[in-house]
Chain A
């Protein structure tokens, strides 16, 4: 099943990049540097979406005591962390030409950084607890506490940012999006989404095999292996 999502992701990426580089016009204000938007914004969206989906699975695993959902949360975390890192990296690379600095304490970039810390915290807690049962449930609690705090962090950073610096040119207020720019970005977002699903499915299969080597229900469900 994972390979299906990989294929879709590959096709969408090619299509998205084609639009991004060949169809979308040069931006009158930022020239060509705005083309980074085609991976920066999708990565940022995915980093947030994956955290929410991860917390959803974590909650299900905690409440229903179902091991598979906790494993799904465990499988999503690295991809979410990767997306956050990509969003930060591309944000810095985009900020350099537009704002003249590698790192700007823009509200969104800052909360993206904190989101990366949340992912790192989740994975660090998961890695340091040997017993998988306790690892699942402890990290599930951390993910849920994180989900409650993400809006708080975002708004306090927003308030803090406007207090100190005044509203700097934030990313989405960039020039009105030509339709092709928007479609390019949406296609790339979809591609990133498919990619994340594919990677997480592959990782969850590996986690299942590592952890439940002999469990009977495993052999039926993944007989194809």
Chain B
């Protein structure tokens, strides 16, 4: 389903990774590890089509991703370090205006239900600016509930600033995604293994 063929990328003179090869099919999960600056985020951005590698290719369903970019990008759900939320808008407004962009158009009820499930019912109508980092991350992660139509989930540090209950809730969502035939690639600094069945790729 997803093949990475001798991918290499160098930032200026230091080579981040070279001739990287791996492939993943439905239900696979992979955790990318490595010290800071080892190129984890760059690899995730290349895999999700945001960044072009120096050489090598990302192959999705047998077709090189860069060739039919819009097809490939539509099947990728990338979540970066930043939450991508507008501080002046409320959590509900943020989701309501962001999701149509990513191919989902939930009703207001579905959105507020998802926010309640994430334990945000108290703050969901208040501007995001006066939320804590953990709450903002949860709002951003609520997006995952509506990303079923995007098979390849690429999550960069999804667990940062989450408390224990939010971490376990997220693990449930990730497992559900894998069991439903999705593909998951993520990075995390959590020391314990949050998704045990995930294979591991180290960039150090």
Chains A and B touch each other in the complex, with CB atoms below 8 Å apart: yes
Q: Is the CB of B12 within 8 A of A211?
A: yes
Q: Would you list which residues of chain A between 178 and 215 have a CB under 8 Å from chain B?
A: 211-214
B11 lies within 8 A of A214 (CB) = no
**Min distance, Cβ B4 to any Cβ of chain A, angstroms:** 18
- Whether a CB of chain B sits under 8 angstroms from the CB of A132 is yes
User: Size of chain B's interface in residues, with CB distance under 8 A?
Assistant: 4
* Chain A residues closer than 8 Å to B13, beta-carbon distance: 211-214
Cross-chain pair count, CB within 8 angstroms: 10
**Alpha-carbon distance between A211 and B14 when the two chains are bound, in angstroms:** 11
Within 8 A of A (CB), among B175-203: none
Is residue A174 contacting chain B, with contact meaning CB distance below 8 A? no
Main secondary structure of the interface of A (DSSP, over half): loop
List B contacts of A133 (CB < 8 A). 11
Please report whether the interface of chain B is mostly helix, strand, loop or mixed according to DSSP.
loop
B67–chain A nearest beta-carbon distance, Å: 14
Residue A220 is within 8 A (CB to CB) of chain B in the complex: no
| Chain A minimum-CB-distance residue to B53 | A65
Query: From residue A225, how far is it (CB to closest CB) to chain B in Å?
Result: 18
Which residue of chain B has the shortest Cβ distance to A210 in the bound complex?
B13
Q: Is the CB of B12 within 8 A of A131?
A: yes
Give Cα A65 to B56, complex, Å. 13
- The CA of A211 and the CA of B12, in the complex, are separated in Å by 7
Closest Cβ of chain A: how far from B118's Cβ, in Å?
36
A214 to chain B, nearest CB (A): 6
Bound form: Cα–Cα A214–B13 in Å: 7
B52 at the interface (CB under 8 A from A): yes
Q: Which 6 A-B pairs have the closest CB atoms?
A: A213-B13, A214-B13, A132-B12, A131-B12, A65-B52, A131-B11
Known contacts A131-B11, A211-B12; 5 further A-B pairs (Cβ under 8 A)? A131-B12, A132-B12, A133-B11, A212-B13, A213-B13
